[in-house]
Chain A
Amino acid sequence: MTVPIRYREDETFVLNLGPQHPATHGVLRVKLTMDGEYIVKAEPVLGYIHRMHEKMAESGSFGQFLPNTPRMDYLGALSYNHGYVMAVEQAAGIEVPERAEYIRVITVELNRLSSHLLWFGAFVLDLGGFTPLLYAFDDREKVLDLLEMVTGSRLTYCYFRFGGLYNDIEDDFVTGCREFIARLRSRMPTHYRDLVTGNIILQKRLKDIGIIDADMCARYGATGPVLRGAGVEYDVRKNHPYSAYPEFDFDIPYFPQCDSWARYLVRMEEMEQSMRIIEQALDKLPDGPVNAAKVPKIIKPDDGTYYTAVEAARGTFGIRMVCDGGKGPYRLKLRSPTFSNLSLFGEVAEGMLLADALAVMGSLDLVIPEIDR
């Protein structure tokens, strides 16, 4: 960190890392004031895909908002289903049978795996490698087949219902899961560890780039792999246990290096943990009904404000729900993890080279419709 450089206004030019850019993976625009290759000031501009989820929540009933939740973060859609369904169950006091909780955890972890696989492909694509994307997509298609077998859709699942699930899972889903985990475990050392993690070019591009330490995460409210890459062991599944997670033993990977390499390793390690959870859940899968005995036709939670948080693939997805006895929520605030994760990009990218700033943006794992809601 040398002495701050004084720059003159006419020596910098403004570059639009605009809405349509391969590295932003969606319609995020970053207004970069550049001094040659260096970024003097980075200012993300949002709102290019603002789809009024919170307005729709207020105008419809509780059930009508269910299809909206997967369309916010379509890569980890089931976590959002899970968050919203848990919020309403907590407010209306609906019990969920044991088997439904287990299946929810299995499908959410499968979805986290497919989200991390897509992040892995897109992130290495940002850094210039195309082949790992095809390997990652090959595995991801296997997950999509499994989830399609149960939920019916490939991306925007609307599988959870208040008090249970839409339908039960069959045996070939269970055997399919086991085969998939065995296959991914066999491919992990060759196609992912040796090909990419061991690659010196990738390491050189990520080590000591984009230092986001625990204090910056606390100031900006960044959660998820960004926070765990800063050496803080915080995961909603462990810190505020919910659903059937307390029954499984899995650990939270966190790395103290605080740079893009640490965030990369956190997500690679999280894939392992998700597989462990799925295996334990499949072994201990209880029998029994999948839906609660009595679920009121019209959901009427008593008035007041409720807060529910879930560990989505990108961080803490929180729902602040205010009910006043109407047919739908009076106000539904969706706390999206990447909204806070991206708010620290302005401070991280200052003085960085443009190529490194793109590597950091890839390591933040952004999904833009989740930021704009």
Chain B
Amino acid sequence: MARIESTEQLLAQIVAREVTVSETKDKEGEVKKTETLVQGVSTVDYAKAGVNLDVLASTEHVVPIAEAMAENGFFVEAVTGVDWIKDDQMEVIYDYNRMDKEPCRVAVRVRIARSAPAIPTISSIHPGANWHERETHDFFGIKFQGHPDLSPILLPEDADFHPLLKDFKP
């Protein structure tokens, strides 16, 4: 468990905790404050979510987190793209995992605008993410700035469509 706390402090330094407070009037007229986390690290129940730490971050935190994770013995297990078409956003989820006896899984989730999705690449720090990013670019069209070669990896070489977008028609 020590590994999870130390990783949490490590990430808390990088990602400042930001909370938006929204008041809603419930029946008795009291002001009820609901805090929705915009940015920050939160420990999550492993049995339910499958990860120990869940980090909501923004694009400028991606590279610092990747460097911090690389120094502390984490490796990138997967890079996932999600197309939230309803609130006009796209989400990139980085899954970090450890190889030694102290299991600790971290999911870093970044939301970017859906119109011109762009996010800095971490393939120079974790070469394993190179193919994952190319595949996410294939499926969603998310531009990974600084990626050495964003040509289609799973789609034909001349493919210009992004199939996993919610509004994709074959």
Which residues of A come within 8 Å of B, CB atoms?
A: 46-47, 50, 52, 54-55, 58, 87, 90, 214, 217-222, 227, 232, 234, 239-240, 304-309, 316, 318, 320, 322, 330-331, 333, 335, 339-340, 343-344, 347, 372-373
Contact = CB atoms under 8 A, between A and B. Distances in A.
B128 A343 contact: yes
B78 A320 contact: yes
Contact of B50 (A50, A309, A316): A309
B109 interface: yes
Output the residue of B76, B126, B131, B163 with the most chain A CB within 10 A.
B131
A305 B107 contact: yes
A343 B131 contact: yes
Interface string B30-55: 00000000000000000111110000
Which 7 residue pairs across A and B have the least CB separation, nearest first?
A221-B128, A307-B50, A333-B80, A335-B78, A220-B128, A47-B154, A50-B154
A184 to B, nearest CB: 31
A316 B139 CA distance: 22
A90 B50 contact: yes
Interface in B132-163: 132, 139, 152-156, 163
B48 A90 contact: yes
A257 B127 CA distance: 23
A220 B75 CA distance: 8
Contact of A307 (B83, B105, B126): B105
Contacts of A214: 99
Given A218-B99, A220-B128, A333-B78, 20 more contacts: A47-B152, A47-B155, A54-B164, A90-B48, A218-B73, A218-B75, A221-B126, A221-B129, A232-B100, A240-B105, A304-B49, A306-B50, A309-B97, A318-B95, A320-B80, A333-B80, A335-B77, A335-B95, A339-B132, A347-B127
Nearest to A304: B49
A311 to B, nearest CB: 13
Contacts of A46: 153-154
B107 A307 contact: yes
Contacts of B131: 339-340, 343
